[in-house]
Amino acid sequence: MSTADDLKERMERWVGDQFVAWRNDVFGTNFTFSRLGTPPAADVEYVDGTSILHVEVTGTYNDEDAARFENMNARGLPNAPDGWSSLKNDGRVVALDTLFVDSLNQRLAEKAAKSYSCPPHLVVHHVSRFHHSLELLQLLNQATVPARHPFLGIYFLGRMPVGDPQGRIWIHQL
């Protein structure tokens, strides 16, 4: 069984690798993994010759229940929830789209308030269990990117298991 730090580092590396592969394809570069970072550096560093690319990674979930479901199942914990529901224990039904946008905007604000030793690219990842990419695109249009932030670029990386048995990766610049 993995420790929380091991899983976090593996996830940061996986997200960074997906983003850099996409970016290499788009820009014709050849960045490769260099090392994991420690604050105030970004999470992952990649190199292409003498050029360095810093990537800060964060995740967004529909709510705390969804985060618990994803993280506990990823760690293989025996008491992990079987799933996530918009019907809460107190009888409320929460609006999935609103939860997603609120969570995304909260993560953007939290990350924008941080300082980094070198300006990184921010990649916000999300496992989309309820939305297709076109639905996510509409929701991403509601994202509030803070006017001031330390990032060279902000990107959303969605893993699309809904309607896609391949688990396709989808990247969109915010």
Q: Is 158 a domain residue?
A: yes
**Residue 116, CB half-sphere, CA atoms under 13 Å: how many?**
24
Domain of 48 in residue numbering reads as 4-99+118-173
Q: How confident is the model at residue 170 (pLDDT cuts 50, 70, 90)?
A: confident
| pLDDT value at 15 more than 70 | yes
The answer to which of 66-70, 120-124, 133-137 has the lowest mean pLDDT is: 66-70
Question: Is residue 152 situated within a structural domain?
Answer: yes
Angle formed by the axes of helices 64-74 and 4-27, to 10°? Answer: 100
Asked, for residue 106, whether it belongs to a domain, the answer is no
Question: Average model confidence (pLDDT) for the chain?
Answer: 84
User: What CA–CA distance (Å, rounded) separates 11 from 152?
Assistant: 21
Residue 42 lies in a domain: yes
Residue at 105 is within a domain: no
Number of domains comprising the chain:
1
**Residues 74-103: pLDDT tens digits?**
677 788 767 666 666 787 766 677 888 988
CB-based contacts of 90: which residues, under 8 Å, 6+ apart?
A: none
The Cα–Cα gap between 138 and 116 comes to 30
Q: What is the pLDDT of residue 1?
A: 43
In a domain, 108, yes or no: no
Q: Is 110 a domain residue? A: no
Task: Report if residue 153 sits inside a domain.
Answer: yes
**Predicted pLDDT at 88:** 67
Average pLDDT over residues 107-129: 91
What confidence tier does 136 reach under pLDDT thresholds 50, 70, 90? confident
